[in-house]
Amino acid sequence: MNSRAKPVNPPVRKAPAPAAPAKPASTDAADDAAPARARTNNYFRKNRTPLARDDAKRQGDISQLAFLTMGGRDAAVDFLNSENAALGGRPLALATASAEGFEQVAAAIRAMAPGAATS
């Protein structure tokens, strides 16, 4: 019996990677001026205009009010994104669209708050 043990995984020697082919010299100044842009996945990024400043402020304010009043993220997101028959639509869309809609949704959120006075 041979007392010398063979290595379990002998070292593997990798061949050096082939060099990239040389790029031909360009005579066009536009090619030399800017490097090629990397491709991006713009499938989900449609060309939409961002929210107006007032709309974005109302959206942020109603989201914060719902989060703080309703006791957390899940309850707030569920309420804001679900159709509400009493309000006549999605609360987030209503609050974002106008100041009157914001006040209606804010009143509904405050009425749902724990400990809110019901009369």
Neighbour count for residue 35 (Cβ, 10 Å):
7
Answer yes or no: is pLDDT of 64 > 60: yes
DSSP 18: P
Q: What are the domain boundaries of the chain?
A: 53-112
Answer yes or no: is pLDDT of 115 > 60: yes
Q: Could you tell me the two tokens for 93?
A: 């869309």
Neighbour count for residue 103 (Cβ, 10 Å):
12
Q: What's the pLDDT at 37?
A: 67
Distance CA 70, CA 86 (A): 18
> Which residues, at least 6 apart from 103, have a Cβ–Cβ distance to it below 8 Å?
none
pTM equals 0.58
Q: What is the pLDDT of residues 17-42, one digit of tens each?
A: 777 666 666 555 555 566 666 666 66
**65 or 50, higher pLDDT:** 65
